[in-house]
Amino acid sequence: MHTRFVKSARLALVTFVLASLAACSSDLGAAKIKKIPKEGTVEQVIAELGAGPLKAPLPADSVRLISGFRRQTYIAGGGKVDVIWYREEPGTLEDAIAKATETPVVLKDGKFQGGGWSFYEEFAGKAGIPNAIRGRERLDSISKAQSGGNK
């Protein structure tokens, strides 16, 4: 009976580890992001990511893009934080940021800090920058409350 328990525990542990690894690598572009050196420059980040599918519809929108990817810039924690939103599918700058279509790549003061949703959510919380997903969830809940719930 003890052997059976140990086998079950091992199976549960292996299943948990594999599921955890799968969750970590489920971010879009995870293989490319893992190749970016820690503290890599913007140029190194773009070299690994390649060219993105987005185009600026108006000349003024070009500051919102970097090499075809959406870019958001914040001043936080005594420095400049850039979030490059890696994506593979065509879209527009007006599209909502979604985990299914984009993966955040974070630079602070021009140096790569990390990428992926888990990293971003922790970094955003510590740095005090907006969390794109939490912000949308909050707005959705406010809208739902103002409209009287599910209608």
pLDDT at 144: 58
Which of residues 140 and 15 earns the better pLDDT score? 140
pLDDT confidence band for 77 (50 / 70 / 90): confident
pLDDT at 9: 53
pLDDT at 133: 80
What whole-number distance in Å separates Cα of residue 39 and Cα of residue 28? 21
Q: Enter the tokens of residue 140.
A: 């959705």
Do residues 106 and 125 make contact, with C-beta atoms less than 8 angstroms apart?
no
Residues with Cβ < 8 Å from 110, sequence gap 6 or more?
41, 42, 80, 82
Residue 51 pLDDT exceeds 60: yes
Residue 5 pLDDT exceeds 90: no
Residue 36 pLDDT exceeds 50: yes
